[in-house]
A = this chain, B = another copy of it.
Amino acid sequence: MTSAARTDEVARAEARRRVDALAKPLGALGRLEDLAVWLAGVQGTAEPRPPQDVAVVVFAGDHGVTGDRTVSAYPRQVTAAMVREFLRGGAAVNVLARTHGARIRVVDIAVDDDLADTPPDVRRHKVRRGSGAIHREDALTEAEATAALAAGRAVADEEIDVGTDLLVPGDMGIGNTTVAATVVGAVLGLDADQVVGRGTGVDDDTWRGKRDVVAAALERARPHRGDPAALLRTVGSADLAAGTGFLVRAAERGTPVLLDGVVSGACALLAERLAPGAVAWWYAGHRSTEPAHRLALEALGLPPLLDLDLRLGEASGALAALPLLRAAPLLLAGMATLESVTLPVTESV
């Protein structure tokens, strides 16, 4: 158990007072007001700024379930192909990062390809080639789980040390919604039917196969429900472990995070259990179509900014929401107060 930093409640309260004094009815800017107040708390100032140095980290990994069973509309080779595409700049996350001004870093944690043609920095944190098939074997050894968690923590440290003021976790891995659904089901004590979604867009037969895989994995997870590290080892994956370590470390360091999809959500559930209170450092960028994502966000008490039927991962949903996160503090800084607007009128009436 580690400790999340505390957000600044004084700054939050002062920001709320400022929001309430703006030239608008109380609460009329809805969630944009909450967003400005949240930023005040995580930035430790009643005058929050739009996050400028935004670092997207895409943790990539393959999953043994895709070797045994059909759980995705795509073969696992797509994971490595997409890693290469992230480096070429032609994926959705690249376009959104260019559009909204964010850096992207791709971290190969467990892609089932040596990716020898990619820069060494991409592979520096690699733990293994593909995690285990969680419906019949552990995803990771204890040493691998520890290494993957540490890799995520190290990446968070590296990004925070260069001055990043907002972290955005992304994911790439054929089969990863199967693992994320399992983790969410295991943590929340739910059945496979409740957590399994369509992922990349599987048909009914594949959905049933995916559900059976998750049901078997949930059976294997049962003894470990209260132990996040054990869940990552038995029914998780190296990429989810890295994502979890990343979120824990961000909260320890007091750096805000904009969460993405169901993989983010599964990691967040585990990270909050590893470091209670960490959730205060996170905002949900969007809600995907995956049922496990909705369930994870509800359990964490995190309402999403966007709800646009996105289900791509990569950090694409979070990045699509980034302009809202930047607009909210500008409203706080740039709007007149209600008093300044109405005073002249009162005098002239």
Q: Does A192 contact B (CB under 8 A)?
A: no
The CA-CA distance from A330 to B319 in the complex, in Å, is: 13
Convert A168-204 into 0s and 1s, putting 1 for each residue whose CB lies closer than 8 angstroms to a CB of B: 0000000000000000000000000000000111000
The CA-CA distance from A27 to B91 in the complex, in Å, is: 15
Size class of the A contact interface (CB-based, 8 Å)? 35 or more
The CA-CA distance from A31 to B201 in the complex, in Å, is: 15
State the number of copies, please. Answer: 2
Taking CB atoms, residues of chain B closer than 8 Å to A73 are 25-26
The CA-CA distance from A29 to B308 in the complex, in Å, is: 8
With A81-B342, A92-B331: A310-B201 Cβ-Cβ less than 8 Å: no
The CA-CA distance from A26 to B203 in the complex, in Å, is: 12
Taking CB atoms, residues of chain B closer than 8 Å to A28 are 200-201, 310-312
With A77-B349, A310-B28: A336-B99 Cβ-Cβ less than 8 Å: no
The CA-CA distance from A310 to B27 in the complex, in Å, is: 8
Q: Does A232 contact B (CB under 8 A)?
A: no
The CA-CA distance from A310 to B336 in the complex, in Å, is: 18
Determine whether the beta carbon of B341 is less than 8 Å from that of A74.
no
Q: Does A306 contact B (CB under 8 A)?
A: yes
Determine whether the beta carbon of B29 is less than 8 Å from that of A90.
no
The CA-CA distance from A328 to B91 in the complex, in Å, is: 13
* Interface of chain A residues 291 through 349 with chain B (CB within 8 A): 305-312, 316, 320, 323-324, 326-327, 330-331, 334-336, 340-342, 344-346, 349
Identity of the chain B residue whose Cβ is nearest the Cβ of A314 in the assembled complex: B24
Taking CB atoms, residues of chain B closer than 8 Å to A327 are 95-96, 99-100, 320
Determine whether the beta carbon of A326 is less than 8 Å from that of B91.
no
Determine whether the beta carbon of A95 is less than 8 Å from that of B330.
yes
Determine whether the beta carbon of A336 is less than 8 Å from that of B78.
no
Taking CB atoms, residues of chain B closer than 8 Å to A341 are 78, 81-82, 84-85, 90
Determine whether the beta carbon of A323 is less than 8 Å from that of B100.
yes
* Interface of chain A residues 64 through 110 with chain B (CB within 8 A): 73-74, 77-78, 80-82, 84-85, 88, 90-92, 94-96, 98-100
* Between-chain CB contacts (< 8 Å), 17 pairs: A23-B85, A23-B91, A23-B92, A25-B312, A28-B201, A29-B316, A30-B310, A77-B345, A78-B341, A84-B344, A95-B327, A95-B330, A99-B327, A100-B323, A305-B308, A306-B306, A308-B324
The 10 A-B pairs of least Cβ separation, nearest first, read A90-B336, A30-B309, A323-B323, A31-B308, A25-B200, A95-B334, A28-B312, A81-B345, A30-B310, A77-B345
